[in-house]
Amino acid sequence: MKPIEVCSLRGHLNDITCTEPYYSAENVSLISADSKGWIIWWDINTRRPNCVWKGHDSNIVTIRQICNGLLLTHSKDSDIKIWDIEKFKDGSREMPAEKYNSVQYFNVGDAEENDNILKNELLEKFPLPEHTVIPVNALNYCNVDYSNYHLITPATTDSNNFDLYLIFKPSDQNDQSLEEKLNLKRVATSVDPWKLYKKTINHLNKEQGVESEIGNEDDILKRDRFGIMMKVMFVGDDLFYIGYESGHLIGFHIDFSGVTNNEKKEPTPHSTKPNKNVSGLSGLLGSKSKKSFDRTIINKDPEIKVVYINDSCSPNPILSLEVDKVGNRIICGSTGKQLTFHEIPHEFSHFREAKDCESYNLRHSGIQSISVNHSLLVVGFWDGIIKGYNRDINEVFKYSKRLPRIDVLESNNGQVQPHERESSMRLCTTKLVMPKETLKVSTKDYKSLIKRKRDITTANLLISSYYDGTITIFKI
């Protein structure tokens, strides 16, 4: 089961920060992003870009393919952007250019004349797909996640808390524009996990006749709380997990039963521009035309409650979360050496505080990335080591990217002294990519047989990305 290296993709000039497989029709492609805001949509078979653009002004933290064939990106520039890339036919296929790395054309304000010239050059050379902008908190490096028209993000004013947004209205119309698909509402604001946990425990104690309560917030040291959000992940339409700086993993259930949506047709002219001074999503939909929108009135916020908590990773901050659909469990990794497994509940009427859970000591710290399929678990560590395990957590392969310790190109440039490239082997992510569903090909169709034979997306793939700007693709 040792992975076979197929190819490497080289295009990013900066540290790669995240990658995501992108599924469309019968094709599997790859989206990658870097620390300067560049986004590359790769054709895996040709090893060339379908489209390249500079989508953000800073480090991109999240890439997610969401409903209606749209792409969501989230960056340290305090923006979430939703891109309609499948309808974008005029994109550039040139690789990112270093001269535009520092151009911040999304910033509002006065700029030098030379900067404006570069902005115009950049937009002309690397056109942007149709998109909309959502300002969010970027105080830390926590990702955002999406499921069932809802988006969860760190809270606007406090990275310990979270916000929940409704960003799409259910619709069966696939020919709508991006603006027509959007229905931007914040339905839960700055939800405090510590308060929810305290409320849950105090309620259970009251039911059981126990008089003791968790102390007031002013009496609790900060280290006894959960700290900032490190990783968030939906595992169902109404269930999500957050890993915290303290090492706690908390499961939250969203009860939508009390939410009433009243749809009203209300013709309203829209000609607004995104306003970065407005927090959250309020009044954020920019438009160049006038149209009517359905306005959703939410009479009651959804109820969010804690259904699971575990501190097996404590005091190590949680770095990675993954859903094991075969085992119906969450796999969790941290800055420590323990890989922990947490059963996903089937019903949410009871709170569960798990003191113990299934765990394995991988004897290697810094679990940066986790990916799993029906037979293989792949773990990437932040020093560049990748290990593969079977379902019994027995190691089946180990891989590390060997790069020269000396930056040869720079050391040969004049009198510059050679130096070690400390980040050249650092791993960003590992992704197991499932094969696409292919049509049956007639054995008489020679061209189709050759094309299918060369199509590496019909196999199980392992995609690893590194902070030196390269992506390596393996067959598993």
Q: What is the mean pLDDT of residues 228-255?
A: 95
363: left (phi over 0), alpha (psi -120 to 50) or beta: left
Strands 427-433 and 229-236 come out as unpaired
Which residue do the tokens 């908590």 mark? 309
Q: What is the pLDDT of residue 114?
A: 61
Q: Of all helices (H) and strands (E), which one includes residue 305?
A: strand 303-310
Determine the residue type at 193: P
Q: For residue 9, is pLDDT > 80?
A: yes
Distances (CA, A) of 341 to 243, 262, 332, 364, 393: 13, 41, 6, 17, 11
Q: What pLDDT was estimated at residue 271?
A: 35
Structure confidence by residue, pLDDT tens digits, 16-55: 999 999 988 778 899 999 999 999 999 999 999 999 999 9
DSSP-derived secondary structure for 250-280: EEEEEE-TT--EEEEEEEE-------TTS-T
Residue holding tokens 């790395």? 101
Model confidence at 232: pLDDT above 50:
yes
Question: SS3 breakdown of the chain: % helix, strand, coil, rounded to 5?
Answer: 15, 40, 45
Contact at 8 Å (CB) between 73 and 22? no
Confidence of residue 405 (pLDDT cuts 50, 70, 90): low
Region of poorest pLDDT, from 69-73, 269-273, 471-475: 269-273
Distance from C-alpha of 372 to C-alpha of 391, rounded to nearest angstrom: 9
Q: Give the pLDDT confidence score for residue 173 in this predicted structure.
A: 52
**Does the pLDDT of residue 284 top 80, yes or no?**
no
pLDDT value, residue 205: 80
Residue 396's H or E segment, with its range, is strand 395-400
Contact by Cβ (8 Å): 34, 475: no
Residue 200 clears pLDDT 70, i.e. is over it: yes
Tens of pLDDT, residue by residue over 135-182, are 887 778 899 999 988 999 999 888 899 999 998 776 655 666 677 777
Confidence of residue 244 (pLDDT cuts 50, 70, 90): very high
pLDDT at residue 456, rounded to an integer: 77
Q: How far is CA 374 from the centre of its chain?
A: 22
CATH code of the domain made up of 4-214+225-259+301-405+422-475: 2.130.10.10
Average pLDDT score over residue span 245-254? 96
Token duo for residue 385? 């080591």
Give the lowest-confidence range in 174-188, 283-297, 426-440: 283-297
- Interval 368-380: pLDDT, tens: 999 999 999 999 9
Question: Is 103 a residue whose pLDDT tops 60?
Answer: yes
Find out whether 253 and 236 touch, Cβ atoms under 8 Å.
no
Question: For the purposes of burial, counting CB atoms within 10 Å of the CB of 46, is it exposed (0-12), middle (13-18) or buried (19 or more)?
Answer: exposed
> What pLDDT is attached to residue 119?
85
Q: Which residue's entry shows tokens 């037979």?
A: 375
Pick from 27-36, 56-65, 161-170, 409-418: least confident: 409-418
Average pLDDT over residues 180-193: 87
Residue 183 in this model has a pLDDT that exceeds 90? no
- Under the banding of pLDDT at 50, 70 and 90, the label for residue 206 is confident
Q: Which of 162, 14, 166, 165 is nearest to 95 (CA)?
A: 14
pLDDT score, position 348 = 80
Contact 59, 76 (CB under 8 A): yes
Q: Mean pLDDT for the chain?
A: 80
Q: Pick the more confident residue, 393 or 427.
A: 393
Q: Look at residue 11 and tell me whether its pLDDT is greater than 80.
A: yes
For residue 175, what pLDDT is reported? 60
Cis peptide before 21 (omega within 30 of 0): no
Predicted confidence band at 264 (pLDDT cuts at 50, 70, 90)? very low
Distances in Å between the Cα of 37 and the Cα atoms of 29, 85, 358, 382 are: 19, 16, 38, 21
Cβ contact 104:96 at 8 Å: no
pLDDT of 280 above 80: no
**Hey, what are 163's tokens?**
């916000």
Burial-class residue 352 by CB neighbours within 10 Å (0-12, 13-18, 19+). Answer: middle
Burial category of 460 from C-beta neighbours within 10 Å (exposed 0-12, middle 13-18, buried 19 and up) = middle
Mean pLDDT of the 118-125 span: 88
At 119, the amino acid letter reads K
pLDDT at 327: 93
Q: Which residue has the tokens 């305090």?
A: 78
Quickly list H helices, 22-165: 113-125
What Rg do the C-alpha atoms of the chain give, in angstroms?
24
User: Does the pLDDT of residue 266 top 60, yes or no?
Assistant: no
Instruction: Please tell me the distance from the alpha carbon of residue 226 to that of residue 139, in angstroms, as a whole number.
Output: 16
- The pTM of this model reads 0.82
Token pair 């799409």: residue: 168
Vertex 401, ends 399 and 405: CA angle to 5°?
140
Percent of the chain with pLDDT over 90: 49
Strands across the sheet with 229-236, in order? 229-236, 239-244, 249-255, 303-310, 352-354
| Helix residue ranges, H only, 70-129 | 113-125
For the residues 356-381, what does the mean pLDDT come to? 95
| Phi and psi angles of residue 382, each rounded to the nearest 5 degrees, phi first | -70, -10
Quick one: pLDDT at residue 194? Answer: 93
